[in-house]
Amino acid sequence: MKRSLITIGLTVLCTAIIILGLFELQAQLNQLQPDEQEVINSSILEEKRQLQVHLPPGYTEDTTTTYPLLLVLDGGSKDFTLSQIGDVLTTAGAMPSVITVGIPNTNRNRDLTPPFCAQETGGKIAGGGDNFLAFIIEEALPMLHGRYRTNGAQMLAGHSRAGLFTLYAQLERPDIFDAYFCFSPAFWRDDHAIVAYAEDAWATADSIPAFLYLSLGTEENDKMRKGYEAITELLKNKPVPGLVVVHKYTPGADHQSNTYLSAPAALGTWGKYVLNNARQLE
């Protein structure tokens, strides 16, 4: 009888632990759900594309305030990081509230590679970044501005290949976004093709009143570092009129952790730029 009671007790305890674990897992999953999900039947990309919308605290209660839009590439991962860090910094008064929108991938290599680079190393298929940029400008942004309380300010953020695309967007259409965040950007692709493209674009550019933040982890490989330094040296030697540039190494960060570890500094520095209208940033 005593053994049976012990067995029953252990069974109940194990069941309770499992149930509590499931509740905790569900709570974590709920925290990682966007506030809204939108679907666009894109005529440009000829496919359905999702948008994951993270609304700032107080958005529902305050029906008059308008917000900047922060588009985050690699939606489903990076957008949660930037949204959560942004909410903390907003609460601390370090940056304005933003609406963060993640754009999940369907064909990452195609969409996030500029048309002057091959999708694969040594490959011959050119990137489709021009079509993806057109989708963002002509389909995603108008829909978001129509459905959410935005104030017209627009930002773009990306990691690795998405960081490469983010700089490409600045070079190709400098009139669209007010701020750009390139985390661990893959500027090395196709023998640093983005560097030559940037040099030509910036040499003929008029004043660009925008903010550009670049970061790289100190533990990233030489290939990443050489591409990153090629762009930062170009910006140092040939400054672009009006473009406020901040570039930093993130101590101890590798390629996977750099976005998470450098995002507080990136968003906080942008907050300083916006809130204080700073033109020279440390």
Q: Say if residue 184 is in the same domain as residue 215.
A: yes
Q: Say if residue 226 is in the same domain as residue 157.
A: yes
- Bridge partners of 71? 101, 156
Q: Is residue 212 part of a domain?
A: yes
Q: Is residue 199 part of a domain?
A: yes
Q: Is residue 280 part of a domain?
A: no
Domain count for the chain, please give it. Answer: 2
- Show the domain range for 24: 1-31
Q: Is residue 78 part of a domain?
A: yes
Q: Say if residue 182 is in the same domain as residue 241.
A: yes
Q: Which residue has the tokens 């489709």?
A: 128
Q: Say if residue 2 is in the same domain as residue 76.
A: no
Instruction: Single out the residue of 191, 190, 187, 151 nearest to residue 171, CA to CA.
Output: 187
Q: Say if residue 190 is in the same domain as residue 253.
A: yes
Q: Say if residue 196 is in the same domain as residue 238.
A: yes
Cα separation, 263 vs 191, in Å, equals 28
Residues 190 and 118 sit within 8 Å (Cβ to Cβ): yes
Q: Say if residue 56 is in the same domain as residue 9.
A: no
- Other residues' Cβ atoms within 10 Å of the Cβ of residue 275: 12
pLDDT at 32: 63
Q: Say if residue 6 is in the same domain as residue 103.
A: no
Q: Say if residue 17 is in the same domain as residue 138.
A: no
pLDDT at 275: 83
pLDDT at 121: 87
Residues 139 and 40 sit within 8 Å (Cβ to Cβ): yes
CATH of residue 140's domain is: 3.40.50.1820
All residue ranges of the chain with pLDDT < 70 are: 1-32, 277-282
Which DSSP string do the residues of 196-254 spell out, in sequence order? Answer: HHHHHHHHT-----EEEEEEEETTS-HHHHHHHHHHHHHHHHSPPTTEEEEEEEETT--
Whole-Å CA distances, 256 to 162, 209, 220, 226, 262: 13, 31, 9, 18, 11
Residue 182, SS3 per DSSP:
strand
Instruction: Single out the residue of 135, 173, 157 nearest to residue 46, CA to CA.
Output: 135
For 29-43, letters b (16+ CB in 10 Å) and e give: eeeeebeeebebebe
Q: Say if residue 155 is in the same domain as residue 113.
A: yes
pLDDT at 122: 86
- Helices vs strands, H then E, count in the chain: 9, 8
Q: Say if residue 133 is in the same domain as residue 186.
A: yes
- What order do you get walking across the sheet with 99-103 strand by strand? 36-42, 47-54, 99-103, 67-73, 150-159, 179-183, 210-217, 243-250
pLDDT at 9: 45
Q: Is residue 281 part of a domain?
A: no
Q: Is residue 134 part of a domain?
A: yes
pLDDT at 33: 84
Q: Say if residue 232 is in the same domain as residue 159.
A: yes
pLDDT at 3: 54
